[in-house]
Amino acid sequence: MPQDRRVSFTRHNSQDMRSSSMPGGVEHAVRVDLDGLIRQMPEGPDKDKFSKEMDDFYRLFTRFLHEKKHSKPLDWEKVRGPKPEDVIAYKDLEQKELKNVAPLLNKLAVLKLNGGLGTTMGCVGPKSAIEVRDGQTFLDLTVQQIEHLNHVSGADVPLILMNSFNTDEDTGKIVQKYSNHNVSICTFNQSRYPRFKADSNLPLARDPENKPGFWYPPGHGDLYESFANSGLLDELIENGKEWVFVSNVDNLGATVDSSILQHMADTGAEFVMEVTDKTKADIKGGTIIDYDGQIRLLEIAQVPKAHVDDFKRVKKFKIFNTNNLWISLKAIKRLVASQKFDLDLIVNNKTTDDGTAVIQLETAVGAAIKHFSGAHGVNVPRSRFLPVKSTSDLFLVTSDLYLLENGQLFMNPKRTFKTVPVIKLGDHFKKVNDYLARFKTPPQILELDHLTVTGDVCFSSDVTLEGTVIIVANYGAHIDIPRGAILNDKVVSGDLRLLDH
């Protein structure tokens, strides 16, 4: 769409005008607004928590203003690939079985990032409640994994869920069904920050009520402060826990790894990031770099536009961050207390339903790598990165390509090649309910390399897909893949309607 360059005149209300007219400028005006929101809260623990969140937001906001005026863009000439000691190969770690690291497991907690909704896949409620395999949800599989871990090792590894205000209520109801399982489950909420107007920089919210569109969870980089503010960090340390394994709840490959845990203990590293080799599907993923002699996480949003193509080249940046992180609890406590735990800002521009331009300030949990002592990456097998972000991913994890055991997915040993096939399902499959309606049973794909499906296509039961399969139903056409069909290196197009007998 061409840019509209016509001059317009905007009517500002008295609230917005304060940003430039009051003593101290916009910083003072925002502080006044935040204090006004705090005063509206009734006395008690909720007010104390809300006040702390507004203080944390204000510190982030003032950083945003300062960096907007004074920060320099990333100097691409200083960007180097990681030093050899900054990324260690997983195969070089001492391999340990779970039962042999029980004393270390007793010092570990598992934390899942559980703040996201399933809206992008057409679902209502927390994404962790989506059924992904044999009628079981992300959360069901996670609980099975931890329960099995505790059973085999005799350890007591707790499961912690970092919820957002979008997922907390539903998650609280869901976790009740695990009360008889051999796993302790704790939850805490990440912060709730106010969106602010792009023109005046003043908060959109006029009261602390959680109205849709006025507040947002500020990214998973908020984990550190929210974890500390919840009191749970101190509680874990008091109970003898030393490390936390953090991962996205939708990454089905992110299980507790005894070899990496042993490596944490042996090296004394405060932070280990699991990375894995990039493919063409991962070109936008953040990567570990050396910048001015310091280890950093570089995200694509930080890359100057002139160098984005360079960043995407797999030959230059060969690894990416899986967001599986192993972190020292005491180090988190120390860094949060220092109030110098500044993570790279992600400025997210949004538009509300009524057309108001607003800004969300967010941070990423992996960006903290530069603050921890001995921080480095471990290049892990691709099997430790198995996210389900779309129905194309769901197609893979529900198929015979994987076997399920104790909540963990393993690639089927009957597959000749250990690479994962490329799956591209079109818009007709985008929502989970539509996807499920188009497959009577998951196809057999042990010999599949590539699948593309677009248009109005339905699969009957016992279908086998091999090699490269492309199925295209043009606009107005419909294709039924019949029961028992075997498609090997086939292109199917046009209009095909078959009835099972």
DSSP 444: B
> Which residues, including other chains, have CB under 8 Å from residue 364's CB and lie 6 or more apart?
219, 220, 221, 286, 297, 299, 343, 344, 346
H/E element, 212:
none
Give the CA angle between residues 139, 276, 282 to the nearest 5°. 85
Distance between CA 466 and CA 456 in Å, rounded?
Answer: 21
Please report where in the chains the tokens 């050396």 appear, as a residue: 290
Q: Nearest Cα to 361, choosing from 118, 18, 117, 63?
A: 63
H/E element, 120:
none
Distance between CA 196 and CA 61 in Å, rounded?
Answer: 10
Own/partner contacts of 60-65, CB < 8 Å, gap of 24 or more, are: 60/193, 60/218, 60/345, 60/361, 60/363, 61/27, 61/30, 61/196, 61/201, 61/361, 62/27, 63/342, 63/345, 64/345, 64/347, 64/361, 65/26, 65/27, 65/201
Give the CA distances from residue 209 to residues 95, 107, 205, 407, in Å, rounded to whole numbers and listed in that order: 51, 39, 8, 39
Sign of the CA dihedral running 367, 373, 379, 383: negative
N- to C-terminal Cα distance for the chain?
Answer: 51
DSSP 488: E
The helix/strand/coil state of 440 is coil
Distance between CA 82 and CA 453 in Å, rounded?
Answer: 39
The helix/strand/coil state of 54 is helix
Distance between CA 69 and CA 72 in Å, rounded?
Answer: 9
Catalytic residue annotation: 389
The helix/strand/coil state of 293 is coil
H/E element, 432:
helix 432-437
Distance between CA 387 and CA 501 in Å, rounded?
Answer: 38
The helix/strand/coil state of 425 is strand
